[in-house]
Structure 1
């Protein structure tokens, strides 16, 4: 097995290190704007907690029958920090091994993790936006309130946005470093 070039080893290590900010920065954000909330309502999703205007969002969502948003509805918060810790550990092992397959393995691992997170978020949003309380004060026949997975969506008089926050942008940068390492590896063959 061929060893990684020094450049690719450094890129791999930097990509591994981009996982660390996930413990200290918000990973995702959901924002809502409406005429009665021109400044917007914002919820930040961290590795193990929620922050922002969660109570106000719950108050608004109550009228259309959406479930109460709370940490308890995200079982991922109990194990996500361990999953990311394991990925950091594996990434460091890949760095120490220093073989060409290391960058491909870590890129595959991070890609699978990212896809799994997006699927999980979609499923949560689908359930959250479709399983409404039939006794809700406001009902619009045929309307679901699934937040967008990524991007903007109009939900009644609210404009909703969902997308990466600081931690995810750093992780995306780490993925970019790995893609660069793979490109350099192919180019150097």
Structure 2
């Protein structure tokens, strides 16, 4: 399964792009901010799109009682996620090499893909849980207390995916380069499974 093994190795190595490129991006724009503010979310931490974006977002959030954007050492995810990605990349390359040498069947490629899919779903669930806590766990002593027309407190959970209007801000949340590399890598491993299956039958 030479072709399948090579495809599997390339697909697995694409995961390493997550150490260089953001996984996700959240942008906030409003009439009084002609240059939108944003956060790039990496597997190792959160950085501002522009130099002072994190500082400015924290300043705005302070008025409505939101917590500061966490530093890497304040979230266990930023310690665990890099290890998971590195481990899956190494495992994928190892399976690809063994497939290349004919030591494992094409089913191992699918097994890796299923495991990566499960981990990805768990990661997205965890990310959405953090967004929910970030936007709803507000300081009761905040300077500004916004409420809905029915009197219930307003929450500020950013969308997991897509566009949302919050007060006078337009909030956009979409995958970034790292996520696309991850998705491309998973597609390649799926391709490796089908190519390997074909090669296995012609042995």
Q: Is 2:177 the partner of 1:166?
A: yes
DSSP 3-state at the match of 2:64: coil
Q: Is 1:65 matched up with 2:70?
A: no
Query: How far apart, in 2, do the equivalents of 1:20 and 1:63 lie?
Result: 38
Q: Unaligned stretches of 5+ in structure 1?
A: none
Find the aligned partners of 1:73 and 1:62 in 2 and give their Cα distance.
18
Give the Å deviation of 1:186.
Answer: 6.2
Offset, 1:7: 2.5
Aligned to 1:109: 115
- Where has structure 1 moved over 4 Å in runs of 4 or more? 183-189
Q: Deviations over 1:47-86 (max 9, x none)?
A: 2122111111111111111111121442211222211111
Q: Residues of 2 paired with 1:138 and 1:79: CA distance? A: 36
In the alignment, the residues of structure 2 paired with residue 31 and residue 162 of structure 1 have an alpha-carbon distance, to the nearest angstrom, of 7
Moved more, 125-134 or 170-179: 170-179
Consecutive unaligned residues in structure 2, runs of 5 or more: 100-104
Distance in 1, Cα, partners of 2:28 & 2:187: 30
1:32 counterpart = 2:25 = no
- SS at structure 1 position matched to 2:9: helix
- SS of 2:130's equivalent in the other structure is helix
Matched residues, number = 185
Between 1:55-64 and 1:88-97, the stretch displaced more is 88-97
Find the counterpart in structure 2 of residue 50 from structure 1. 46
Answer yes or no: is 1:146 the counterpart of 2:157.
yes
2:102 alignment partner in structure 1: none
> Larger C-alpha radius of gyration, 1 or 2?
2
| Offset of residue 14 of structure 1 | 1.2
Deviates more, 1:76-85 or 1:110-119: 76-85
CA drift at 1:38: 2.1
